Amino acid sequence: SIGNNDSRGALIVLEGLDRCGKTSQSSRLLSYLDSFGHSVELLRFPDRSTNVGQMISAYLSKQSHLNDHTIHLLFSANRWEKRSMMETKLKAGTTLIVDRYSYSGVAYSFAKGIDIEWCKAPEIGLLAPDLVLYLDIPPEKAAERGGYGDERYDHLEFQKKVAQCFQILCDSSWKIIDACQAMEDVEKQLQETALDRVITCQKGKPLSFLWR
Ligand code: NYM
């Protein structure tokens, strides 16, 4: 292998509002990195397949009611239950492309008016991403794309608040991509940064932890 003993996969997170194109871009990025022979896997949060994930899914589809603090902690627990698997995979050299992570966790709850430090607290100690790719789209544009589902949070007024929260969370390490561009152009912009980060981690960048 090209790497040394500290060689590992990269933790690459895609974030953005609902309908920003994250999910399509995640799988396109997977194919791209895969075509270079990198070991790469896709994850998404919430992961609705676990017990906790099923509680989240029932909440999102309005089949159950939970108060804002409780659902926040469940979203966080859903990341905690995947943490050791993620660390094992990264250390084994697999790059993880993750569709939503702790930033969504904080942004959606903070948008409801929960204290931001309280929102961040349960995320402390989770693996920090090596790269955050933010697919930037005005909430009005995302709404025009249609197909807002019938889930909680799927409405313009709330998405506007979430957009503001992402702006507060974002720092200079994030790569902001204009998600209003053609799909192919968005795809191109993700590729270069992601590949670069995969190579940096292959060379042995140490893992770091939230919350920086
Ligand atoms: N969401 C997602 C949260 O509110 N907190 C979180 O921690 C995460 C990961 O779940 N509207 C919200 C954002 C979405 C919803 O996500 C479902 P998706 O990507 O549509 O499956």
pLDDT at 29: 98
Q: What is the sign, positive or negative, of the torsion defined by CA atoms of 141, 145, 151, 155?
A: positive
pLDDT at 150: 86
Decide if 52 contacts 74 (C-beta within 8 A).
Answer: yes
Residue whose structure tokens are 């017990």 = 51
**Is the predicted pLDDT of residue 154 greater than 80, yes or no?**
yes
Asked if residue 8 has its Cβ within 6 Å of ligand 1, the reply is no
Nearest Cα neighbor of 48 from 40, 60, 37, 36 is 60
pLDDT at 2: 52
Q: What is the ipTM of this complex?
A: 0.99
pLDDT at 148: 81
pLDDT at 4: 62
Asked if residue 32 has its Cβ within 6 Å of ligand 1, the reply is no
Asked if residue 148 has its Cβ within 6 Å of ligand 1, the reply is no
Distance CA 80, CA 152 (A): 23
Q: What is the pLDDT of residues 10-59, one digit of tens each?
A: 999 999 999 999 999 999 999 999 999 999 999 999 999 999 999 999 99
Question: What is the average per-residue pLDDT within 166-191?
Answer: 97
Min mean pLDDT across 21-30, 93-102, 141-150 is at 141-150
Banded pLDDT at 149 (limits 50, 70, 90): confident
**Mean pLDDT (the chain, rounded):** 96
Distance CA 95, CA 177 (A): 21
Decide if 152 contacts 65 (C-beta within 8 A).
Answer: no
Question: What is the average per-residue pLDDT within 151-160?
Answer: 95
Nearest Cα neighbor of 72 from 39, 105, 30, 112 is 105
Decide if 22 contacts 142 (C-beta within 8 A).
Answer: no
Q: What would the DSSP string read from start to end of 106-131?
A: HHHHHTTT--HHHHHGGGTTSBPPSE
CA 89 from chain centre, in angstroms, equals 17
Residue 88 to residues 63, 95, 119, 158, 199, Cα–Cα distance (Å): 35, 11, 26, 36, 18
- Taking the centre of ligand 1 as the mean of its atom positions, its distance from the CA of residue 2, in whole angstroms, is 37
Residue from 14, 81, 82, 108 to probe ligand 1 pocket by mutation (most atoms less than 8 Å from CB):
108
Q: Which residues pair with 127 in a beta bridge?
A: 209
Banded pLDDT at 8 (limits 50, 70, 90): very high
Q: What is the pLDDT of residues 77-95, one digit of tens each?
A: 999 999 999 999 999 999 9
- Taking the centre of ligand 1 as the mean of its atom positions, its distance from the CA of residue 100, in whole angstroms, is 7
Burial class (CB in 10 A: 0-12, 13-18, 19+), 66: middle
> What is the percent of the chain where pLDDT is above 90?
94
Q: What would the DSSP string read from start to end of 97-108?
A: EEES-HHHHHHH
Asked if residue 102 has its Cβ within 6 Å of ligand 1, the reply is no
- Taking the centre of ligand 1 as the mean of its atom positions, its distance from the CA of residue 98, in whole angstroms, is 12
Asked if residue 153 has its Cβ within 6 Å of ligand 1, the reply is yes
pTM beyond 0.90:
yes
Decide if 166 contacts 107 (C-beta within 8 A).
Answer: yes
Return the structure tokens found at 9. 């996969």
